Amino acid sequence: MSERKLYSIFKKKIKEADSNCWVYKIPDFPGCTLRPADFFLLIKGVPYLIEIKSKKGVLTKYQAYCLQDFILAGGEALVYWQGKETLDEFIAKIINKINERR
């Protein structure tokens, strides 16, 4: 399944889990080689930087740096690896992290 399709499914499911969350897909267009991640998520006041990887996807050094930098700035950063867990499990992980922060 493509990352674009995974993003659409994720957005629908996360909105079902919390209808007040905010999801912003970082635009990708020809010529744009440096993107920190696929999208931002703001849920219950907790900012997330999320990267979605297909089964063969690999984090670039720049993405790894941006995700780590986002954590150091006080946010949460996660990578969804297709095939290692379901989207439902990934969303449950996000909700659990939020509950741990409170």
Q: Give the amino acid at 30.
A: P
pTM of this structure: 0.85
53 band by pLDDT with thresholds 50, 70 and 90: confident
Q: Which domain holds residue 68?
A: 3-101
Count of the separate structural domains present in the chain: 1
Pick from 73, 12, 3: nearest CA to 37? 3
Q: What is the mean pLDDT of residues 9-19?
A: 92
102 band by pLDDT with thresholds 50, 70 and 90: low
CATH of the domain at 85: 3.40.1350.10
Please give the Cα distance from 5 to 16 (Å, whole number): 17
Which range (20-34, 35-49, 65-79) has the least confidence? Answer: 20-34
